[in-house]
Structure 1
Amino acid sequence: MASRLLYLVRHGEQDRPEVESPEIGLSERGHRQAALLGERLRGVPFAAVHHGPLRRATETAELVAAALPGVPVYASELAGDYLPDDTDPAGLPPAYGRFLEGFSERERVDGPRLAAAAVERFATAPAEGDVRELVITHNFLIAWFVRHALDAPKRRWLGLNHHNAGLTVIRYGTGGPPNLIAFNDVAHLPSELRGAGLPPNYRV
C-alpha cells in the first residue's frame, strides 16, 4: 500500500516579530530552534525539503537541510504565508472577525487558490511506494493541513497555533483517511526555546 508521510514544520522564531517584512530572517533563538530540528530529523529518508519563499522559512530550511545531506531543497510558493480560506466571520468570536477583515480582496482569492494547490500536491498518497517529504512553512498552512486531515469544518483552521520549529506529521495512504501522527511536537527543543509563536507566558 502506497503512503506519503508529510512532515510539516513552522519556521524558527522570527527576528523582530513585531515587524512584518519578507526580508526579516531568524532571531538567535530561531537559529537554535532550526538547528535542533535538523538534528531531530537527521537520518529521515526524505525525498525532498520544500519551503516557503520568505526569508525566515528559507533560513530555517537551510539550517535543517544541513543535517540532511543529499536531500534536494526547493522553494515553493505553495509553502508560503497566505490566507488558506476566505472564512465567513459570521458566528465567530469578534477577535477572529477583526483578524479576517485585515486581509485584502486579492489575498482572499489568491490564498485559497494556493491552499487548494498545496493540498493537491502534498496531501495525497503517491501512486506507489512510500514517500517522505518535509515542508517548512507558516502557521496558517499547517493549521489548514491539520483541519483537512481531520475533515473538520473549514473555519477550524482558526485557533490552531504552532510552536516555532514545532513538528506535525500526517500520513496519507491509499487504504483510508489521513492519519494525524504527531501535532506540534517540540520534544527536540529545550524548555527555554519552546513557546515562541504562541501567546505570552505559554509554557509546555
Structure 2
Amino acid sequence: MAMLILVRHGRSTANISGVLAGRTPGVSLDERGAAQAAALPDRLSGLPLAAAVVSPLQRCRETLAPLLAARPDLPVHTEDRINECDYGDWSGRKLAELTDEPLMKVVQQHPSSAAFPGGESMRGMQARAVEAVRDWNARIDAEHGEDAVYVMCSHGDIIKSVIADALGMHLDLFQRIHVDPSSLTAIRYTRLRPFLVRLGDTGDLASLAPPENPSGTDAAVGGGAGAP
C-alpha cells in the first residue's frame, strides 16, 4: 500500500508566542516557518509524489504552497478530517495559563479520556484522523498503485495520533511522541501492518523513493542494510 509522508506545518506565529491556536483563523507561519516551507520542495525532490492532502487551516496551506508552486501538476486535496484538534474553550489561550487547569494532567497522562470544554475529545480526534489516512491510502493505491508516495500536511497532535495508531500504541502513550514544526514522518502501509520508517525527520527524504524490489510485509530481521 501507499507510503504516507506526514508533514507538520512550519512554525507559526502562535507557536512562537506560546498560544494554543487550535482552529483560530488567521494564524500564519512566522519568518522561520516560511523559510521551513520554502525548503520543503528540495527535501522532497527525490520522491515521485502522487498527491498532496492538506488541513484546511492557513498555516498548513502556507506550508505546502512552495511545494505546490514547484510541482504545479501535483494534485492537492483539502481534508477536513486532518484539521487541528478542536480545543474548544482552550483555543487562543496561552499554554502557560493552561498548565494549572485540572484537565491538563488528563491530557498529558490519560488523553484517551480527555475532552476539551466546548470542543472535541482526543479519542474522537484520533478516530477521524486515522479514518482519513485509511481512506486516502485506499484512494492513492487505487489511482496510483501500491508503491505510490503522497504527502499529508497537518498538525502536531493529529500527526502524533496517526503515528500511535501505526505503531499499535494506545492513545494514552501518544504524548511520548514528539514532532517539530516542518518535520516529516514517513509511514509505509502494507496489507498486514504499517512500518514507521521516519519519525520527525528534518532532513532529506530521497532514500524513501520506492525501491525496485519492495520488501513487502516482512520486517528486516537484524535491521537490514538500509537504503542503497
* In 1: Cα distance, 2:38 partner to 2:67 partner: 6
| Preserved contact between residue 37 and residue 63 of structure 2 (Cα < 8 Å) | yes
Deviating beyond 6 angstroms after TM superposition, the runs of 4 or more aligned structure 1 residues are: none
Cα distance change, pair 102–144 in 1 and its aligned pair in 2 (3 A): closer
Unaligned runs of 5+ in 2: 87-102, 205-228
133-142 or 16-25: bigger deviation: 16-25
Secondary structure in structure 2 of the residue aligned to 1:107: coil
| Preserved contact between residue 58 and residue 75 of structure 1 (Cα < 8 Å) | no
**More helix, by proportion:** 2
* In 2: Cα distance, 1:185 partner to 1:58 partner: 20
Secondary structure in structure 2 of the residue aligned to 1:66: helix
**What is the TM-score when the length of structure 1 is the normalising length?**
0.75
Cα distance change, pair 173–16 in 1 and its aligned pair in 2 (3 A): closer
**What is the TM-score when the length of structure 2 is the normalising length?**
0.68
Cα distance change, pair 97–186 in 1 and its aligned pair in 2 (3 A): same
Secondary structure in structure 2 of the residue aligned to 1:47: strand
Q: Which residue of the partner structure matches residue 125 of structure 2?
A: 111
Aligned residue pairs: how many? 177
Cα deviation, residue 98, structure 1: 5.7
Please give the per-residue CA displacement for 1:44-86, whole angstroms capped at 9, x wherever unaligned.
2211111111110111111222222310112111221116xxx
**Which residue, 35, 40, 54 being the options, matches 2:38?**
35
Larger radius of gyration: 2
Cα deviation, residue 16, structure 1: 4.0
Unaligned runs of 5+ in 1: 84-93, 189-204
RMSD (CA atoms): 2.7
Q: Which residue of the partner structure matches residue 99 of structure 2?
A: none
Secondary structure in structure 1 of the residue aligned to 2:148: strand
Q: Which residue of the partner structure matches residue 185 of structure 1?
A: 201
* In 2: Cα distance, 1:56 partner to 1:23 partner: 8
Cα deviation, residue 129, structure 1: 3.2
